[in-house]
Structure 1
Amino acid sequence: MDLTNEKSIDTKESEIKFGTDGWRAIISQDFNFNNLIKVSIAIANFIKSNQRKELDIYKIDYTKHKDASYKVKYRDYSYGVAIGYDFRFMSEIYAKKVAEILSAFDIPVYLSEYNCSTPALSLATYKNYSAGIMITASHNPYYYNGVKYKAEYGGSSTPEMTKLIESYLKDIPNEFNNLKPKHNLIKKINFNKTYLNELLNFIDIEKIKDYVIKNNIIIVVDYMYGVLANSFRYLLNLENLIELNNNRNPYFGGKSPEPIPANLKELENVINMIGDNSIGFAFDGDGDRIFAKTKDSWITPHEILPILALHLIKNKNWDGKLIRTLPTSTKLKRIGDYFNIETIEVPVGFKYIADLFVKENILIGGEESGGIGFKNHIPERDSLLNALFILEFLAYENLKPNELINYLHKFTKESYCYRYDWHFENIEQQQNTFNKIKNNLDLFKNILDGEIEIKDYIRIKKDDYNWIILRPSGTEPLIRVYSESITYNQAQNLINSLLNKFNIKN
């Protein structure tokens, strides 16, 4: 979307809908104070409702689910709500407004004293509160903001919760004059310090430091102007550390704060300049997605997820099933097969992973987009912990950063994934194109022969090493196209062959 072209801006408000992880919208168009107040009222009514207590997630029989990684215990509204906010434009002001609305409903509010990450907010919620609300649009472009709702177990809201919150939106009047904030119910809390210190319980920091110093490893971190800025310095305090874009910039340097190669040219250049003994990490705007880089290759979430599973199984002796979302590499399944561990496939959205974390013994679950969570912490994505685990894995195995991918392939064999974001002017154009493809599957002839599956996505799968998926985004006017094959070029060609039928050059 070109916001410099007024013809591309739809000034008509859209219906408030919660996507794969909360509600996001364009600032001043749909994300405005009027709609934010409506969402806050709906959440307040939901938190105080008797219906919340009757949701299925609070009826889990833990005598039958004794091995669940996390156990849900209902907390009523008196426990209060934690509210955090990222570095986006006006996020702290929006957060204060949400706090005031909730306090008007007699709900105690614990407002973050500083900008914080989503994992920090989730951890605080898990430890102390009845719910958490994060003001962020995660990896979306700078002109978006949004609201993430976290349940008392620290994870994303379940589809059942989301549906009930949306139902409360229908009966909210347009006038809010009778709402009177109770400022005595609003307290400020530092979520960041507690979160960072918690990570030290999981990681052998001294082992990482010894490895880095002994091998003269240079760590480069691109915070992408996000809320994790300077956190590596706090945790490791090493001279062998270069931090990029570690200040607040609501414009995010003119790029989306999404850690993908197209947005990480500066990180790539620094890594290439330093050479073989360097490793780079990048985090998204609210700190729950990760990407990595060595001199020879990008380490995508498709590799990070199985690398972390391998580390936790082999070196940390953790147990549990593995979870991957639909468009994520089957390398995780191959790690599971190697160690005779079940791998579960779920739809896109970390809420589906969180739902299983509270019902089964899940070791690790992750998404193609870079969100990865573990047992023993919170049922939520945590990019900073991901990066620390990767460094710890290198230290345990005494590997050089450039050896990481080849070492993984000893357990998984080679395959490579590719993704293309197919942009449209608006949601209607996106849906029309997707429906056209869905109704004309002959488009895939001579591209890939395999089993066809149609739901809210289209998947053509030949085998675990060869597949292509199309899925409309729930928050932006685009279709994400994913593929996997035994070489990177073959994965790219699968998508290019489809795009060529629409005269699109990738």
Structure 2
Amino acid sequence: MAIRFGTDGWRAVISEDFTFDNVRHVAQAIADYINSGQAGGATDAVVVGFDTRFLSDRYALTVAGVLAANGLPVYLSKADCPTPALSLAVKALGAAGGVMITASHNPPRYNGIKFKSAFGGSAMPEVTGAIERLLERNLREGRLPRVGDVAPRNEGTPAAGEIVRFDPMPMYLRHLRTLIDFAAIARSGLRVAVDPMYGAGRGYIARWLRELGVMVAEIHGELNPGFGGLHPEPIGRNLQDLQRLVLEGGYDIGLATDGDADRIGAIDARGEFVSPHMIIALALKHLLAQGKRGLVVKTISTTQIVNRLARQYDLAVEETPVGFNYICDYMLKQPVLIGGEESGGISILGHIPEGDGILMGLLLLEIVAQARQPLHTLIAELQATCGPFFYDRIDRRVRPFSKRALVQALTQAVPATLADQAVVSVNDRDGVKYLLADDSWLLIRPSGTEPVLRIYAEARTPELVQQLLAAGVQLAERSIPTS
């Protein structure tokens, strides 16, 4: 098969394309890349971690073995760990890179490999492209992966060709304490429900909150490689158990992280889902109130409330294509106050350039604790001053077509109005986004991996959102090329 890295790694179905043989080949290409001297980092060490999926621990040990057989020092996580904890460890240890075995929020039948660069975030496309070319070369020339039988040891710093087990939690917690007001959370008296969705975030938030004396309940925290039948993506329809727990237990807030804990979702005290749009906006408002400043970066499909808040404080906003690696690129070049995407990957000033569901869950607790108001009240106040805005998205399967031709057709025939509002600008950085006079918007975006059209809309009422979505379907159907 042709192994390709998407916006955040290579993912495939376990035992079909995600096999031990293919994992070894990818690990060899990564070793070749690091040994070429292009990776950077203070050392040539590699940090390897894994999530809770079926065989993830064995795949991680396999990757570590190939890397060590190529003469590289390897840190291997003692247990499943969140992707942001792995990424932070890469930077803290001065490693040349990191390998995370995870398929993130994908269904349980998938697994994957994320490669992290020395700066502690997802590798840029030019890096994953170089790894792909090395992989293709090895396969074309019949080069087999180097395989050793190095037994991991439990302490110390690995030398060349050695594997050392380590725990990323302590250094991750130390770093989060520089960003989050744990004392305010401890004093708050908040009752918190946590749902790691059987993923690698299990035990992190709940353990720390218990140590602070906060009343906390965690569900879906046991090891279950099949995720108990759940789809480990923290969106409303997947969080019914958390909603029930919050309502029946009288909790003030529910926090959910995805399969590798780089995404966040939340439930308020009324049992209502709090979208990443609102979490990003609340976090931005909170950071601004603390006097912090910097560039605001968001993906093209994220709420305009962010833009309105930034305008109030005379801050620049950059909109990127979908994918946190685009946000990461900005964070590497200048101070970014907050960077986020509508899927729940968010980071803030002072953190690594990586979406972090655990960090954002704790920040949400800090926001509620310091405001001394319920989460739903804070959202209502935000909507009153910067909204109101409502959002929805639909996905439509279509026959394969030329994405470039669709974008060209949509930009050449721009409607004058949508939902009785004038179209004031068009953004074609990722699909086509029509921005309207009242800051409502419609985005038609082809998937980068399958024949699916994603149609997004945000507007002043739920009814207008549905009108925009319907208009988007019509525009797309007229514009999809016939051949």
Give the TM-score band, short-chain normalised: 0.7 to 0.9
**Identity fraction in percent:** 36
What SS does the aligned partner of 1:111 have? Answer: strand
Task: Flag the 1:218–1:44 CA change in 2: closer, same or farther, 3 A.
Answer: same
1:198 CA displacement: 2.9
Match of 2:138 in 1: 172
Distance 1:358 1:192, change over 3 A: same
Kindly tell me the number of residue pairs found equivalent between the two proteins.
Answer: 457
1:188-226 deviation per Cα after TM superposition (whole angstroms, max 9, x unaligned) = 111123223432332222211222x2xxx4311111111
Q: Aligned AA for 2:312?
A: Y
Letter in 1 for 2:162: L
Structure 1 residues 155 and 145 mapped into 2: Cα distance closer, same or farther (>3 Å)? same
- Deviation for aligned residue 1:475: 4.5
AA aligned to 1:165 is I
1:256 matched to 2:223? The reply is no
1:196 aligns with 2:173: yes
Aligned-CA RMSD value: 2.6
- Corresponding letter in the other structure for 1:236: L
Return 455-464 or 143-152, whichever deviates more.
Answer: 455-464
- Contact 1:322–1:362, Cα closer than 8 Å, also in 2: yes
Are residues 279 and 322 of structure 1, via their aligned partners in 2, closer, same or farther at CA, if it must alter by over 3 Å? same
Deviates more, 1:467-476 or 1:85-94: 467-476
**For residue 365 of structure 1, what is the aligned residue in structure 2?**
339
Matches within 5 A, 1:295-334: 295=270, 297-315=272-290, 317-334=291-308
Q: Are residues 1:228 and 2:236 paired?
A: no
Q: 1:443, 1:498 within 8 Å by CA — same for their partners in 2? A: no
Residue in structure 2 matched with residue 219 of structure 1 by the alignment: 192
SS of residue matched to 1:20? coil
Please state how far the C-alpha of 1:370 moved relative to its aligned partner: 0.2
| Structure 1 gap ranges (5+) | 1-12, 54-73
TM-score by length of 2: 0.87
Q: Is the 8 A contact 1:31 1:146 kept in 2?
A: yes
Deviations along 1:231-274, one digit per CA (max 9) or x if unpaired, are: 22211114632211111222222232111111111122233335
Find the counterpart in structure 1 of residue 447 from structure 2: 473
Q: Which amino acid aligns with 2:169?
A: N
Change (3 A) 1:178 1:257: closer
Answer yes or no: is the 8 Å Cα contact 2:283–2:363 preserved in 1. yes
2:99 to 129, 133, 144: 133
Structure 2 unaligned regions, length at least 5: 151-160, 478-483
**Shift in Å at residue 436 of structure 1?**
8.1
Which residue of structure 2 lines up, in the alignment, with residue 403 of structure 1? 377
Change (3 A) 1:222 1:464: farther
Letter in 2 for 1:493: Q
Q: Distance in 2 between matches of 1:267 and 1:494?
A: 31
Distance in 2 (CA, whole Å) between partners of 1:100 and 1:386 is 34
Which of 401-410 and 321-330 deviates more?
401-410
Deviation at 1:453, TM superposition (A): 4.4
Whichever residue aligns with residue 288 of structure 1, its letter is D
Question: In structure 1, what is the equivalent of residue 359 of structure 2?
Answer: 385
Please name the residue that 2:220 is paired with.
245
User: SS of the residue aligned with 1:198?
Assistant: helix
Structure 1 match to 2:267: 293
Offset from partner CA, 1:56-96 (integer Å, 9 cap, x none) = xxxxxxxxxxxxxxxxxx326x4300000000111111111
How far does residue 446 in structure 1 lie from its aligned partner after superposition? 7.9
Letter in 2 for 1:127: A
Instruction: Name the aligned partner's letter for residue 182 of structure 2.
Output: I
Q: Say if 1:296 and 1:402, in contact at 8 Å, map to a contact too.
A: no
TM-score, with structure 1 as normaliser: 0.84
Of 381, 384, 389, the match for 1:415: 389
What CA deviation, in whole Å up to 9, does each residue of 1:317-352 have, x standing for no partner? Answer: 322111101111121111111111111111111111
